[in-house]
Amino acid sequence: MLKGSYFAVDATPLTGTPLAYDIQIAVDDPLYLKGFIFLPEGKDPVVICSLDWIGIACESRERLKKSIASSVGTKKDNVTVHTTHFHDAPHSNESAREVLMRFGKDSLAEQYYDPKLLERLCENAAKACREAASRARAITHIGYGKGKVKEVASNRRIVGEDGKIKYTRYSSCKDPLVRAIPEGLIDPYLDLITFWSDDLLLASVSYYATHPMSYYRTAMCSSDFVGMARNMFSETVTRAPHIYFNGAGGNITAGKYNDGEKKNRFDLANRLLSGMKEAWDSTAKKPVESFCYTTDLLRLPIDERFGKEECLNILKNPSSEERDLLSASRKLAWYEWCDQNPYIAVSALSINDVKILHMPGELFIEYQLYAEEKYPEYKVCMAAYGEYGTSYIGTKKSYFEGGYETGPKVTKVAEDSEPLIKECIDRLMKKDCS
């Protein structure tokens, strides 16, 4: 028998503490960690979590996983944590914070990271997950549906005739000529999974790939248009808890359909909601016949264009600019983290013919499409934005093309990562669940 339960905890920063880019002055939307615990009979518990922060990296993510795992007596890598990537939201990277402190950049560390917020989250998430386990109900059925999301996602990387990036269509784009360029390569579909105890809907979970911002830098934490759609779907359609995971949206934004005007947040939310409703309407509900959780280890080469010595020189230089100090501290933290933890744990959750892949970083959409197209016999869903220490994970070609995402002070992984990621996806898809 398979049992399970939903849980949620508040992950909202306090006023006067850091968001990813600003010190918070007020709360626009509360932020949450939303999760679901699976209790398969005779096996260790499995926990999936979606956190409303821009990212959680290295030691921060490790602490949260360990806290949740220990609360329900499971292995650390049976807990997977991903972020929604909201930008008016916190960034947690205790490894990078420690680097800044080590080099005497205490004020900068305090400006960008709040260790007390992480501490509260670890404690509260562990408690909530433990309580959820105690009230778990039988999962008798799983539902799967798919809906097309129209006029939200577009590829942000627009390549010119010379094969190089000509324009970058960020989350908002004011240039009408750039907005007029076609969507480019995206995955327009939202996957919806539902967990049922007979006729009782325990929770629904959606997977969709895009940067989730309409506008930001408001100094007020916000779940943006994704949070609006998530709430409306839960409150008006299913009347049950809903968890949203961001897919491989590293090179995907709403820029084609968003010039930055505030009204666009509502338009984007309603379009996303329409896709959720279509997925709900198309849902086919079937008895749970199999459950399997498999893990794999992924080792990605570090991008040496912005090397360890350059990071150290920036951190030691009293004249270094804030932007460079942040880049150097995060890159050095990644070097040091990988020295001690060379592998990223990734996983696949399989229920019947549904396969959910849990992947790291700001993964490009090509990887999601690769999994879907190569394995049509499965209903493949992907959650990216797991280990955030990698930053963007592009394709090999994207390094030749240039652009922001694969710049030497942005990505942490090298161009040779592509075949390693695809091989890892293949292993996860093919692992025996018997």
pLDDT score for 434:
59
pLDDT band at 433 (very low <50, low <70, confident <90, very high): confident
- Residue 29: inside a domain, yes or no? yes
Domain of 89 in residue numbering reads as 2-137
Side by side, the strands of the sheet bearing 354-358 are: 291-298, 344-351, 354-358, 379-383
* pLDDT, tens digit (0-9, with 9 covering 90-100), for 362-407: 999 999 999 999 999 999 999 999 999 999 999 999 999 999 999 9
* pLDDT, tens digit (0-9, with 9 covering 90-100), for 33-89: 999 999 999 999 999 999 999 999 999 999 999 999 999 999 999 999 999 999 999
Q: What is the mean pLDDT of residues 18-29?
A: 99
pLDDT band at 276 (very low <50, low <70, confident <90, very high): very high
- Residue 102: inside a domain, yes or no? yes
Q: Which residue has the tokens 């929770």?
A: 203
- Residue 21: inside a domain, yes or no? yes
- Strand (E) positions, 315-389? 344-351, 354-358, 362-363, 379-383
- Residue 313: inside a domain, yes or no? no
d(CA 317, CA 319): 5
d(CA 369, CA 384): 13
Q: What is the mean pLDDT of residues 84-98?
A: 99
- Please give the mean pLDDT across all residues of the chain: 98
User: Does position 432 have pLDDT exceeding 80, yes or no?
Assistant: no
User: Does position 422 have pLDDT exceeding 90, yes or no?
Assistant: yes
Cα of first residue to Cα of last residue in the chain, in angstroms, is: 15
pLDDT score for 377:
97
How many domains does the chain contain in total? 1
Write down the pTM of the prediction: 0.98
Q: What is the mean pLDDT of residues 300-323?
A: 98
- Residue 411: inside a domain, yes or no? no
The sign of the dihedral angle between the CA atoms of 390, 171, 227, 152 is negative
* pLDDT, tens digit (0-9, with 9 covering 90-100), for 184-222: 999 999 999 999 999 999 999 999 999 999 999 999 999
- Residue 203: inside a domain, yes or no? no
- Residue 86: inside a domain, yes or no? yes
d(CA 368, CA 256): 21
* pLDDT, tens digit (0-9, with 9 covering 90-100), for 118-146: 999 999 999 999 999 999 999 999 999 99
Dihedral angle at the C-alpha atoms of 326, 327, 331, 337, nearest 10 degrees? Answer: 30
- Residue 81: inside a domain, yes or no? yes
